[in-house]
Structure 1
């Protein structure tokens, strides 16, 4: 499994202001915006901005997002190592998505996108 990147999750009070700020910080113009339940998200370079109700954000804090090249290979390696799939894989707004528990209990979201914002 090749992990291409880890996204830093950043909770923000004002998504529009934060998008402008993080575009400048990351040095990219591309932003991929989407929602997941009641959370609004913006993917900007290595940052994943989250805005929403406190309870929904609390659940989102429990995991990190790993960007992988090959979802099938990633899932196979996790399972062979003693981990398990909790959700997916399934198509999501950013490509194939999987939630997995690693052998020692850490939970990660894995995404295999066709292209990350700012990578073209």
Structure 2
């Protein structure tokens, strides 16, 4: 299993208000922007910006980071071997498969296996066709 990218999570009330400064700091436009239920997300630089009502954001606040991996199944095996546990079972999102896990030391992380197009565009920097 390889970690492809790690995002620091930023919790905001409004995505459009938050993005201008992050565009300046990252020197780039968001790589991703999409809705997921009642929240809206944007990935820009090394930030995953999560916006929406506070009560909805709270459903995801237990994870300290989002880690993009090349093989989610191997993550589960490695977690089990190291005394960690999956706290939210695997599910699908617009970006691929994901789950939430708690490491033996207590860290809680969202792990995501992106669809191949996102890996190519964001990690491998392959221009869209």
Normalising by structure 2, what TM-score?
A: 0.77
Report if aligned partners of 1:96, 1:111 keep a CA contact under 8 Å in 2.
yes
Q: What CA RMSD, in Å, does the superposition of the two structures yield over aligned residues? A: 2.1
Q: Which runs of 5+ in 2 are unaligned?
A: none
Of structures 1 and 2, the one scoring higher in RCO (CA 8 A, sep 6+) is: 1
1:85 aligns with 86
Q: Distance in 2 between matches of 1:104 and 1:118?
A: 30
SS state at 1:60 partner: coil
1:62 aligns with 2:59: no
Q: Distance in 2 between matches of 1:100 and 1:61?
A: 13
Normalising by structure 1, what TM-score?
A: 0.81
- Extract structure 1 runs of 4+ deviating beyond 6 A: none
Q: Which runs of 5+ in 1 are unaligned?
A: none
Question: After the TM superposition, which of the residue ranges 51-60 and 41-50 deviates more from structure 2?
Answer: 51-60
